[in-house]
């Protein structure tokens, strides 16, 4: 018996199987998606492979962990309180609802925060599915003054600040800068969407494109051209993955490492 234990973990949607000594120290891990067993030391190589044998799903590469890139080193140096990557879609709304479930509306009316949360979760899930195509998404990015960017998408096609709007079964009229959902009063929402992208561009010193994501609309009508802002339905967000030719993989990783640091957004 080698005395080794295999402990599964999930990080950002990827499974890793850690091989641990009896005192809890890790001596190797198996990245199933990369088909690689990373050994911290060669002296227990055969014991590690024996412990992992029931979990291996095909041919694997075995060797020392790859040398971390500068972006990975920057990410590893982040204090957990400053790392925005673990934020869930609608993180700020989830916290607000947990602190005050009743909200500021009469009991018989639906709390608008819950509809907004549904919209952010729907869009967030769609964006998270792009992760395997070389994209990264940060959710609920806090800005000074209590504002936040609902979602920040970073990938080969560039950077996108995405603002979500609950529009379930509503007719949406877009007349730049006004957005009218159903029979409600129009709001200059596109100004907010552009402002979020401008603040992100300033923080990251890179061009960030504004996107308005409409969740579940019955119909979308554009009254004239819309300046700069992409207006998409949640079902069309996957099309962003087809964009490319703007950022190299190393640039994507570097921008992601910068964007996930809370301190990056402190003065925008």
- Map tokens 């234990």 to a residue: 5
pLDDT confidence of residue 32: 85
Q: How far lies 266's CA from each of 20, 145, 159, 180, 263, in Å? A: 39, 10, 19, 32, 5
pLDDT confidence of residue 66: 77
Can you give the pTM of this predicted structure? 0.74
pLDDT confidence of residue 90: 96
Cis ω on the peptide bond leading into residue 177 (within 30° of 0)? Answer: yes
pLDDT confidence of residue 15: 76
Burial 56-91 (b: 16+ CB within 10 A, else e): eeeebeeeeeeeeeebeebbeebeeeeebbebebbb
* Per-residue pLDDT of the chain in tens (268 residues, 90 and over written 9): 467 989 887 755 567 888 988 877 788 889 888 889 999 878 889 999 999 999 998 899 999 887 767 666 666 677 888 999 999 999 999 999 988 887 655 555 678 999 999 999 999 999 999 987 889 999 999 999 999 999 999 999 999 999 999 999 999 999 999 999 999 999 999 999 999 999 999 999 999 999 999 999 999 999 999 999 999 999 999 999 998 888 998 899 889 999 999 999 998 8
Ramachandran class of 3: left when φ > 0, alpha when ψ lies in -120 to 50, beta otherwise: left
- How many residues belong to the chain? 268
Cβ-contact 214, 235 below 8 angstroms: no
pLDDT confidence of residue 26: 82
pLDDT confidence of residue 166: 97
pLDDT confidence of residue 52: 93
pLDDT confidence of residue 114: 93
Q: CB-based contacts of 107: which residues, under 8 Å, 6+ apart?
A: none
Cβ-contact 262, 83 below 8 angstroms: yes
As a 3-state breakdown, the chain gives helix, strand, coil percent values, each rounded to 5, of 35, 30, 35
In angstroms, rounded to a whole number, what is the distance separating the alpha carbons of residues 267 and 92? 19
């Amino acid at each position: 018996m080698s005395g080794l234990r295999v402990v599964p973990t999930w990080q950002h949607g990827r499974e890793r199987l850690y091989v641990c000594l009896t005192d809890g120290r890790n001596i190797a891990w198996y990245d199933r998606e990369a088909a690689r067993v990373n050994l911290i030391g060669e002296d227990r190589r055969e014991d590690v492979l024996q412990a992992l044998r029931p979990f291996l799903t095909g041919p694997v590469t075995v060797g020392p962990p790859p040398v971390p890139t500068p972006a990975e080193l920057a990410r590893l140096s982040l204090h957990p309180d400053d790392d925005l990557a673990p934020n869930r879609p609608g993180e700020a709304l989830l916290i607000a609802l947990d602190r005050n479930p009743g909200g500021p509306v009469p009991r018989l009316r639906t709390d608008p925060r819950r509809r907004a949360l549904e919209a952010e979760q729907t869009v967030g899930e769609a964006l998270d599915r792009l992760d395997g195509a070389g994209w990264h998404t940060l959710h609920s990015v806090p800005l000074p003054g209590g504002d936040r960017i609902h979602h920040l998408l970073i990938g080969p096609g560039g950077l996108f600040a995405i603002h979500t709007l609950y529009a379930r079964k509503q007719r949406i009229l877009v007349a730049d800068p006004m957005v009218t959902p159903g029979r409600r009063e129009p709001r200059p929402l596109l100004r907010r969407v552009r402002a979020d992208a401008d603040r992100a561009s300033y923080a990251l010193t890179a061009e960030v494109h504004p996107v308005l994501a409409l969740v579940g609309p019955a119909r979308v009508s554009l009254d004239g051209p819309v300046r700069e802002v992409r207006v998409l339905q949640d079902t069309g967000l996957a099309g962003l993955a087809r964009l490319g030719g703007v950022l190299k993989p190393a640039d994507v990783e570097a921008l992601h490492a910068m964007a996930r640091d809370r301190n990056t957004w402190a003065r925008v």
